[in-house]
Amino acid sequence: MNRYGFLFILLFFVSVNPYSRAQNSVFPKVDNLFMERGEVYFKFSVTSPDEINSLTHIISIDKVNGNEVFAYANKKGFIQFRKSNHPYKILPAPGLLIPGSELTRFSPFLKSGSKTVWNFYPTYEQFLDYMVGFAAGHPDICNLDTIGTSVQGRLLLAVKISDNVHQQEAEPRVLYTAAIHGDETGGYVLMLHLIDYLLLSYGSDQRITDLINSTEIFINPLANPDGTYFGGNNSVFGATRYNANFIDLNRNYPDPKLGLHPDNEAWQPETMAFMTYGQNNHFTLSANFHGGSEVFNYPWDTWEKLTPDDSWWQFVGRQWADTAQKYGSMGYFTDVNNGITNGHAWYEINGGRQDYMNYWHHCREATVEISNIKLLPTNQLDSFWLYNYTSFLNYIEQSHFGVNGLVTDSITGQPVFSRVFINNHDEDSSDVFSYLPSGFFARPVFEGTYDITFSSPSYFSKTFNNVVINNGQPTTLNVQMKPYSHGKTEEAISKVMIYPNPGSGIFKLMIPFGKKGNCIIKIMNGLGKEVYSENLILNSDNNLYNLNLNGLSSGLYFFNIISQKISLTDKLIICDD
């Protein structure tokens, strides 16, 4: 029993009455809820976890306590859910539980650079002012990014905090994001508080100064502004879980198991904006803050299988939970498994951002549920900051541990884009890359001894054996990659490339070795008939040609490259442009 138990039970009985539904009650009341808010919150019971796994595609399951399931649905999902014949109870909307008067109790609004007491929910306009003010007040270490806009045109904003903030440095990149479920608002204010705290502590607090100098920290406090300000820009009272199209944004991402559209909905503007942001920023580590429970949830949500980094996840999850318990009130952060859980072991979800970031962006993202009450009352916001801020800092620091370093060309010293693969360990995108412009990679991993292979187009692969990693310490591995032009191997032959593939019109053909000599490229259609042929003259170590294939219709082809030394055949797909 946690400290909210009594309050929750009281509210539950008081508020459930107007909407409670036995099997024979009237549906129009629920219909009214959909008209007013586009979503309903309800609970039901299951007899086995398998039932949850079949329903998770239809409704958004929010929390599972034993065999009791709490969920949201839009109208379409709810109609489908009703066909499953589970008796259910409509619950009061979490966004309406706290009186609006309590939420709009503002602290005096202070301009940039001055200390704010974060015990209130800003209006949407104040939120914008704060975000602009953070960057304006600390231009050397804080930059404001627009990730995109919401369905209703509100801004998705993030600040980047780092020294040399306008450069991409050789540093790990950490992202914090909150309130993707618009009515889970605690994280929203805690993130504003964190930004303020980091900026004001820079130069005076050694730990924070070191963290900012050595890390690129990105913070997006409000991931679903239309949901959070569903009741209007002046208050978070009436906040909804869903976005303005009544879609659960944390079920709207590509899913490693179910493909690009696991919820059968189009990607929302918020989803597409975050996908681009993830693509452009190559985050090492991230966390997505929620409310409704108190637990650190780590990948996978969609798969039963564990990630190869399960030991590491348990280690950092335990650190988060232990620290939150230490600074929290009695019983804080002890849900599920004393505060940590594998996602799928709790309940399966598909289309979540966590799995998307891990699988598609080789990032390590966790889902952190920070408060049992979703819309945290203002008088608790400061306490929850005290419970959590040490965990916020610890987790950012984890981005430095494991193995990291710079990958460069052994001849020119230039940074190199490279895959960093832990042999007999990595799978399902747990490997990382060294990205340009810096050539830096960061790979948090649990302590142990590993063999790590670096590979890159036009370079010989390089393996480091018996690399020793200790928890809580960085192991640095600076790697010089030797380009192909200084030797020829079987591996080089396999690096002949036509790109883009699939593509259309003009293609590039790269033969990254060769010296002088003649070479023929032939292209055959799917029936083996030759449709293109050209003689090429190899004259350098890195031959690059344009192939004009405008005359070929879309479909599957094979290309064959023949010279004195090689004969190579591979697939080429031509698509409509």
Residues tagged active-site: 369
Instruction: Write down the least CB distance from residue 14 to Zn ion, Å.
Output: 24
Matching residue, tokens 């460069």: 408
Element (H, E) at 198: helix 186-201
Instruction: Give least dist CB 223 to Zn ion, A.
Output: 10
Q: What is the DSSP string of 100-147?
A: HHHHT-PPPP--TTS-----SPPPHHHHHHHHHHHHHH-TTTEEEEEE
Considering only 18-26, 101-109, 173-181, 539-547, which stretch makes contact with Zn ion by CB under 5 A?
173-181
- The 3-class SS string of 249-280 reads HHHCCCECCCECCCCCCCCCHHHHHHHHHHHH
Closer to Zn ion by CB, 126 or 250: give it. 250
**Backbone phi and psi for residue 350, each to the nearest 5 degrees, phi listed first:** -125, 145
CB of 288 to Zn ion, least distance (A): 8
> 181 vs 364, which CB is nearer to Zn ion?
181
Task: Choose the binding region for Zn ion from 68-76, 266-274, 283-291, 307-315 (rule: CB under 5 A).
Answer: 283-291
Query: Is residue 203 packed enough to be buried (19+ CB in 10 Å), middle (13-18) or exposed (0-12)?
Result: exposed
Q: Site for Zn ion (CB under 5 A): how many residues?
A: 3
Q: In whole angstroms, how close is the CB of 463 to Zn ion at the nearest point?
A: 42
Q: Least distance (Å) from Zn ion to the CB of residue 370?
A: 10
Residue 169: closest CA among 282, 82, 246, 64: 282
181 vs 400, beta carbon nearer Zn ion: 181
The partner residues of 475 in beta bridges, in order of sequence, read 403
Exposure string of 117-128, with b = 16+ CB inside 10 Å and e = fewer, is ebbbbbbbebbb
Q: Tell me the three state secondary structure of residue 414.
A: coil
Question: For residues 301 and 344, is the Cβ–Cβ distance under 8 A?
Answer: yes
**Closest distance to Zn ion from the beta carbon of 181 (Å):** 4
Which residues are 112's β-sheet partners?
A: none
Contact window for Zn ion (CB under 5 A) among 95-103, 175-183, 332-340, 565-573: 175-183
> What span, in angstroms and rounded, lies between the C-alpha atoms of 159 and 7?
36
Smallest distance, Å, CB 164 to Zn ion? 35
CB 149 within 8 A of CB 132: no
Name the residue nearer to Zn ion (CB basis): 94 or 512: 94
Which residues contact residue 484 at a Cβ distance below 8 angstroms, ignoring those fewer than 6 apart?
458, 459, 460, 492, 495, 512, 513, 541, 542
Four-CA torsion 502, 508, 510, 516, nearest 10 degrees: 150
Q: Which residues 288-317 are close enough to bind Zn ion by CB under 5 A?
A: 290
Q: H/E element holding 67?
A: none
- Taking the least distance from each CB to Zn ion, the nearer of 70 and 130 is 70
Residue 232 and residue 349: Cα distance in Å, rounded? Answer: 30
Task: Kindly tell me which of 38 and 483 has the beta carbon lying closer to Zn ion.
Answer: 38
Closer residue to Zn ion (CB): 43 or 362: 43
Nearest-approach distance from CB 63 to Zn ion, in angstroms:
9
Binding segment for Zn ion (CB under 5 A), chosen from 109-117, 183-191, 425-433, 461-469, is 183-191
The least distance separating Zn ion from the CB of residue 227, rounded to whole angstroms, comes to 11
Q: Does 193 bind Zn ion (CB under 5 A)?
A: no
CA atoms 297, 150, 363, 138: torsion sign: negative
Nearest to Zn ion by Cβ — which residue?
Answer: 290
Q: Which two tokens stand for residue 570?
A: 């591979």
Question: Is the Cβ of residue 184 or residue 365 nearer to Zn ion in the bound state?
Answer: 184
- The CA distance from 1 to 9, in Å, is 11
354 versus 378: smaller Cβ distance to Zn ion: 354
> In the complex with Zn ion, which residue's Cβ is closer, 320 or 401?
320
The stretch among 131-139, 147-155, 287-295, 350-358 that binds Zn ion (CB under 5 A) is: 287-295
Contacts (CB under 5 A) with Zn ion, residues 501-560: none
CA separation for the pair 407, 455 (Å, rounded): 10
Based on CB atoms, which residue is closest to Zn ion, 191 or 420? 191
**Segment near Zn ion (CB under 5 A), from 139-147, 182-190, 264-272, 381-389?**
182-190
The alpha carbon of residue 417 and the mean position of all alpha carbons in its chain are separated, in whole angstroms, by 22
H or E stretch at 38: none
Q: For the chain, what's the residue count?
A: 577
What is the smallest separation between the CB atom of 152 and Zn ion, expressed in angstroms?
A: 20
Give the one residue of 37, 173, 181, 353 binding Zn ion; rule: CB under 5 A.
181
**Left (φ > 0), alpha (ψ -120 to 50) or beta: where does 413 sit?**
left
Burial class (CB in 10 A: 0-12, 13-18, 19+), 85: exposed
* Contact of 253 with 298, CB cutoff 8 Å: no
Residue window 426-465: x/- pattern of binding to Zn ion, with contact defined by CB under 5 A: ----------------------------------------
Stretch that binds Zn ion, among 7-15, 70-78, 154-162, 176-184 (CB under 5 A): 176-184
CB of 290 to Zn ion, least distance (A): 3
| Interface residues toward Zn ion, by CB under 5 A | 181, 184, 290
